Amino acid sequence: MSFKVAFIGAGSIGFTRGILRDLLSVPEFNEIEVAFTDISQHNLDMVTELCQRDIRENGLSIQIQSSTDRRVALKDAKYVICTIRVGGLEGFATDVDIR
């Protein structure tokens, strides 16, 4: 089954990597297209490299498309997963304090 899944805010290592790992654990999804987009090129590169390594080590042939241009990543996507962290790290710190 081939379709495209795009991740907005893919620079979030924990969320992006975990959700992608969950998707790829479904045998029918082993040939999907994956696109990442984020406003941070540095974070995007880092997460793409880690996830691509996970894909390769599991014997899959998926090649992640990554871009800071949201339109490129979203083009022809059947599903869009938003993993942005509202408020950045400062917002995350507030979330932790609230607990």
Question: Quick check: 1 pLDDT over 70?
Answer: no
pLDDT in tens, 11-38: 888 889 999 999 999 998 989 999 999 9
CATH number reported for the structural domain that contains residue 28 in this entry:
3.40.50.720
The C-alpha angle 82, 58, 22, rounded to 5 degrees, equals 30
Closest C-alpha among 5, 18, 4, 9 to residue 84: 9
Q: Please count the structural domains in the chain.
A: 1
Query: What is this structure's pTM?
Result: 0.86
Residue 60: pLDDT band (50, 70, 90) is very high
Closest C-alpha among 8, 40, 5, 2 to residue 22: 5
In contact, 9 and 36? CB cutoff 8 Å: no
Q: Domain of 41?
A: 4-98
Mean pLDDT of the 74-99 span: 82
